Amino acid sequence: MSVGIYSNCMGNSLVRIREREQSSLTAEQKEQQLLARLADCGSIIVALSGGADSAYLAWAAQKALGERALSVTALSPSFSAYDRAMVEDFVSKLGVHHEFVETHELDNPAYRANAADRCYYCKDELFEVLDKLAVERKFEAVCYGVNADDTVDFRPGHRAATEHRVLAPLLDVRLTKAEIRMLSERAGLPTWDRPASACLSSRLPYGTEVTPERLALVERGESALRELGFRQFRVRLHDKLARIEISPEEMPLAFSENMAAKMAQTLKKAGFTYVALDLEGYRQGSLNESLTKANQAPVKVQRGT
């Protein structure tokens, strides 16, 4: 749990603008508000996964605070080598003040059990580590890259953020995913058009135990598809079957001559026994389709005041 280090960050000196008024602002106006709010924090740690949202937030925090902003990326078996390389490339090109830390969510039986609230235990571990780092280094707050579009999806990790009093600067100024991508492109960030990403554990159906071996199998499968030229996809693991989801735009490539055979060959070489192509294509949170509505209730996210 948080130790109360956030009481002065984004606090009473800032007046929350009503959401209807906020949504009428341009993306550029929202960005100026974001930079002002971050500067008001004095110092901040950014949870950087390497996706478009967290990368934009890391850039904004560095722009507002310089080295008083520290972006931190958690390493564990659920974080792929490809994603690590993307983070390293990003921070190197942008000169972002950055560190890697280790997290140990797989040590938690509740995480390994892979119930519908698995993300809660992952984020709880992450924010516990970042809380301690903030105290040790005397940073005033921790923040993460949830945006205005994320609150309509089933994301139990938001509950952990609320419990740890982690700030959500992008959400506070009501920046949407499309606006973040546009502002990122304008700022010259290489992540502006990066496909949506998630941890490797999200490829396992709920109830399938999360193990390093299964995560490594998924990682090998996705690496194989990347080498075949695909960009937006998921390899969902069902026992020894790879259920491949590919974006609608890339379906013609998947159905092109000899590609099906190549996909089957490379994924079997990676360790799968069977390979199947999902005809509905890629969609975020497809494994949530098996959950009941009660299990998908939105979670209120901690916001600035």
User: What one-character-per-residue DSSP string does the chain give?
Assistant: ---STTTTTT-TTSPPPPHHHHHTS-HHHHHHHHHHHHHHHSSEEEE--SSHHHHHHHHHHHHHHGGGEEEEEEESTTS-HHHHHHHHHHHHHHT--EEEEE--GGG-HHHHTT-TTHHHHHHHHHHHHHHHHHHHHT-S-EE----TTGGGS--THHHHHHHTT-B-HHHHTT--HHHHHHHHHHTT-TTTTPPP---GGGGSPTTSPP-HHHHHHHHHHHHHHHHTT--SEEEEEETTEEEEEE-GGGHHHHTSTTHHHHHHHHHHHHT-SEEEE-TT---TTGGGGGS-GGGG---PPP---
Residues in the chain, total: 305
What is the average pLDDT across 155-162? Answer: 88
The CA-atom distances, in angstroms, between 108 and each of 103, 199, 217, 248, 285 are: 11, 16, 21, 37, 23
* One domain for residues 254 and 284: yes
List pLDDT tens digits, range 30-43: 999 999 999 999 99
Percent of the chain with pLDDT over 70: 85
* pLDDT tens per residue across span 117-129: 999 999 999 999 9
pLDDT at 184 over 80: yes
Region 154-168 average pLDDT:
90
Whether residue 9 is contained in a domain is answered as no
Q: Which of 125-129, 158-162, 284-288 is modeled with the greatest confidence?
A: 125-129
Residue 215 contacts residue 77 (beta carbons within 8 Å):
yes
181 and 205 in a single domain? The answer is: no
Contact status, residue 22 vs residue 171, Cβ threshold 8 Å: no
Mean pLDDT of 10-26: 57
Do 149 and 210 reside in the same domain of the chain?
A: no
Residue 305 pLDDT: 31
- The verdict on 143 and 221 lying in the same domain is no
Looking at per-residue pLDDT, the higher value among 97 and 283 belongs to 97
Say if residue 47 is in the same domain as residue 83. Answer: yes
Q: Is residue 2 domain-resident?
A: no
Residue 210 pLDDT greater than 70, yes or no: yes
Q: Is the pLDDT of residue 16 over 70?
A: no
Residues 71 and 166 in one domain: yes
Residue 119: what pLDDT?
A: 94
What is the phi/psi pair of residue 245, to 5°? Answer: -105, 125
pLDDT band at 285 (very low <50, low <70, confident <90, very high): low
Tell me the two tokens of residue 109: 């039986």
Q: The CATH number of the domain where 223 resides is what?
A: 3.30.70
Cβ neighbour number for residue 126 with a 10 Å cutoff: 25
* Shared domain check, 179 and 33: yes
- Which of 186, 214, 244 is the C-terminal boundary of a domain? 186
Domain presence at residue 23:
yes
In CATH, what number is assigned to the domain containing residue 77? 3.40.50.620
- What's the domain range around 215? 200-290
Of 128, 151, 186, which one is at a domain's C-terminal end? 186
Whether 194 is covered by a domain: the verdict is no
Same domain, 151 and 217: no
pLDDT tens for each residue of 58-77? 999 999 999 999 999 999 99
Q: CB of 200 within 8 A of CB of 75? A: no
Domain C-terminal end among 156, 186, 216? 186
Number of domains in the chain: 2
Clarify whether residues 27 and 161 are in a common domain: yes
